Amino acid sequence: MNYHAIEFETSFGLLSQLPPSTLTEIAFSGRSNVGKSTLINKIFNRKTLAKVSSVPGKTRTINFFKGENVRFVDLPGYGFAKVSKAEKRRWADLMEGYFGQGRDIALVFQLIDMRHAPTEDDLMMINFLIDGGLPFVIVLTKADKLNKTQRQARLTALQEEIPCADQVTLIPFSAVNGDGVEEIKSIIDEIAQE
């Protein structure tokens, strides 16, 4: 895939605004601050691609980026402590709506901070993906913040922490040293070729 030919399309805060699914989609999901924007910018080698879409409160919008044969979908971050019930409801409506529209979703990159056990919200999201039969891989972000021994310890612990871990691909990723970038790109390339 030509990673330079990516363009930001638009942001949506309401389900009723979502455009119809006209291309295969690859989505990115994770809690706020997990490093989702950084990962998107790293993959597409742009400094501000994911931030370009940012408007105040953008964490709770769905952002669309168009590639050659694939549309990339930056899902709203979750897990913000100081969020009102109404805002949480809107997030849930948006997510359930996005996943419930029968869209052509080839893969979800589910991001988790490699330094810590998955949060309750992370587990809720993973179970939602499993229950919905949605294909996903887990990207373990900020891997550069751990040394080799710590990384191995987290990889071992995750086998117990993640449901169905033996069937899930785990990709340690670092935007700082580039770990995991090629693996993620080869997964995207495979989907974009289909």
Q: Which residues bind ligand GDP (CB under 6 A)?
A: 30, 32-38, 77, 141-142, 144-145, 174-176
Nearer to ligand GDP by Cβ, of 38 and 99: the residue is: 38
Cβ proximity of 76 and 92 under 8 Å: no
Count of alpha carbons within 13 angstroms of residue 111, beta-carbon side: 29
Q: What phi, psi does 82 have (nearest 5°)? A: -95, 60
For tokens 């999901």, what's the residue? 29
Q: How far is the CB of 77 from ligand GDP (least distance, A)?
A: 5
Nearer to ligand GDP by Cβ, of 69 and 124: the residue is: 124
Q: How far is the CB of 133 from ligand GDP (least distance, A)?
A: 25
Nearer to ligand GDP by Cβ, of 71 and 142: the residue is: 142
E strand spans, the chain: 7-12, 24-29, 62-66, 70-74, 105-113, 136-141, 170-172
**Tokens matching residue 162:** 């993640």
Q: How far is the CB of 145 from ligand GDP (least distance, A)?
A: 5
Q: How far is the CB of 33 from ligand GDP (least distance, A)?
A: 4
Cβ proximity of 113 and 32 under 8 Å: no
Nearer to ligand GDP by Cβ, of 59 and 162: the residue is: 59
